[in-house]
Structure 1
Amino acid sequence: MDRKTHKLMTNRTLHRRANVARQYLQRNEGGRGLQSAEETIRTEEHGLSDYIKNDEKGYNRLLKRLTKTRSKSEYQNRQKETKEKDWKEKALHGQYAKIADKTDIKRNCKWIKNGYMKKETEGLITAAQDQALPTRWRKVKIEKQSGTSLCRVYNERDETTFHILSKCSKIAQTEYKRRHDKLAQLVHWNLCKRCRLQHERNWYDHTAEKGLENENVKIFQPDIIVKDKGNEPYLDNRHSNARGCKNRRKGEEYRKISEHCRDISRLWMTSTNVVAVIVGALGTVVRLEEF
């Protein structure tokens, strides 16, 4: 039954090369939330076994000899550990899981838990996280096909999923910039909504104007600077990457932000607060204390 279900869903919602065990993990743990038919039956068997063990009536004494030695909760915990181990110990599929463990796991899985995306989109993103997309590097190194593993655009480095998402210099000023602007658009829309400034109903229809103001706040572009007329201003900084921020990259960002804060403090004669929005291209959210 599980095999037939997986084959049926592979046509649209599941990628055929994505990690299978991950599909049965809970959505708040990075999985897709599918229910295994076999596991459901075994769980009910262990639940019935627990009921018989705890029943003090005489006619169930004989049945106690036939009950399971493991309780229902122990069985469920063991199945969960087995699935996580099967996902995280894979050399290719487990790379994203290792990165996610070092970041804010609850926020990383929030987009899956909320379920507001189409199932096809979810399948594509999780396949990219598992590096299951048919890149040149995968075809040559994993599937042993003939050809080159170099990037078809840059033609100097291996065409991996991470390379396409954040390391190809040829699309840095096009696709990467568009992704960065979309994130800034969402942040600007939320700020305008919170500060009761003019904004569209949907964030993707919102146009970030250079300067907005009311009796309480001012919002400036291109870096989103919010000046609270009653309190100190704060600077928002956006950053997107595939694996998170490297140490060198974090040092550069920190230096630029520090210089910008000093300029703002001298200009307005006040202190500033920095709110860093650091989101990976595959959905990883870096803990603020790591920045």
Structure 2
Amino acid sequence: MTRARMHHPKASTERTMLPRCMGGRGLVDINNLRKQQIEGMRIYFMEKSTSSSLHNAVWKELYASSPTVQHISTNCDKLELWKSKPLHGRHPNEASKDNVDNKASNHWLVAGCLFPETEGFMIAIQDQVIPTRNYLKAILRDTGVVSDSCRYGCNAIETIQHITSGCTCLAGTEYIDRHNSVVKMLHQQLALMHCLISSTQSVPYYKYEPEPVLENSNFGFIGIERF
């Protein structure tokens, strides 16, 4: 995945084999499958060992090589391990709070609408392994980074949370552009939902320009003011 640019080399590995509805990447846990197969074979040969000398011989060999049942990690085990990580665990701990809709928060992973590379980049942001100054200095111990202050000059510590929503220098430009993009998506989806525009008029959000007024026999839609 890393070689194909679908997984950041420093991103969490604990979430890769969790279901997407739990915030994972949905990969199959080969190690768990191996353990389940071994345990299934142990049970099968144990049940047959009483009536077959061949099965009894195989059962004894299996028991001698692995007398105890191997622990099979559940999804809850993997989730708790992910949450226990000081850096990677911040996102799942925040998403598990009572005031957060965890299902809706992970819907983008379940829907699978993004390119794998884009999805990997989003995961890297959630895992907070984007090379901000604070990450380079405090986590990677990069001696070339003298200060962890924001590179845009707002005198705050440059973390991923600061860059995405707390930088005063970006508030008047990037944040407004981001909000306007969300407004355009909402405007187009509402217009499609109420048949104010046809599906043939649907375009990518970055090409969509909301009309000031849309109306039909049932609904009227006054354009949303943009900044």
Matches within 5 A, 1:18-33: 18-33=11-26
Distance 1:10 1:138 in 2: 23
Could you tell me the TM-score, scaled by structure 2's length?
Answer: 0.82
Matches within 5 A, 1:136-175: 136-146=133-143, 147-175=146-174
Aligned match of 2:5: 12
Structure 1 alignment gaps of length 5 or more: 1-5, 225-291
Q: Quick check: which one's helix share is greater?
A: 1
Query: Sequence identity, in percent?
Result: 30
Structure 1's 180 and 44: CA in aligned 2 closer, same or farther, altered over 3 A?
A: same
Across the two proteins, how many residue pairs are aligned to each other? 213
Matches within 5 A, 1:222-241: 222=224
- Give the superposition deviation at 1:54: 5.9
- Give the superposition deviation at 1:218: 1.0
Q: Quick check: which one's strand share is greater?
A: 1
Asked whether the equivalents of residues 10 and 16 of structure 1 are also in contact (C-alpha less than 8 Å), the reply is no
Distance 1:98 1:185 in 2: 31
Counterpart residue identity of residue 21, structure 1? E
Counterpart residue identity of residue 20, structure 1? T
Distance 2:45 2:76 in 1: 26
Any idea what SS the aligned residue of 2:16 has?
helix
Matches within 5 A, 1:57-72: 58-59=51-52, 60=55, 66=62, 70=69
Asked whether the equivalents of residues 132 and 158 of structure 2 are also in contact (C-alpha less than 8 Å), the reply is yes
Higher RCO structure (Cα 8 Å, ≥6 apart)? 2
- Give the superposition deviation at 1:178: 1.4
Structure 1's 61 and 124: CA in aligned 2 closer, same or farther, altered over 3 A?
A: same
RMSD of Structure 2 on Structure 1 (CA): 2.6
Matches within 5 A, 1:38-77: 38-52=31-45, 58-59=51-52, 60=55, 66=62, 70=69, 75=72
Distance 1:223 1:172 in 2: 18
Aligned match of 2:106: 109
Query: How big is each residue's C-alpha offset from its partner over 1:29-84, in whole Å with a ceiling of 9 and x where there is no partner?
Result: 1111223433332232223334445669722566566467649xx72xx3433322
- Give the superposition deviation at 1:221: 2.6
Structure 1's 37 and 158: CA in aligned 2 closer, same or farther, altered over 3 A?
A: same
Any idea what SS the aligned residue of 2:174 has?
helix
Structure 1's 84 and 10: CA in aligned 2 closer, same or farther, altered over 3 A?
A: farther
Structure 2 alignment gaps of length 5 or more: none
Aligned match of 1:126: 123
Counterpart residue identity of residue 155, structure 2? E
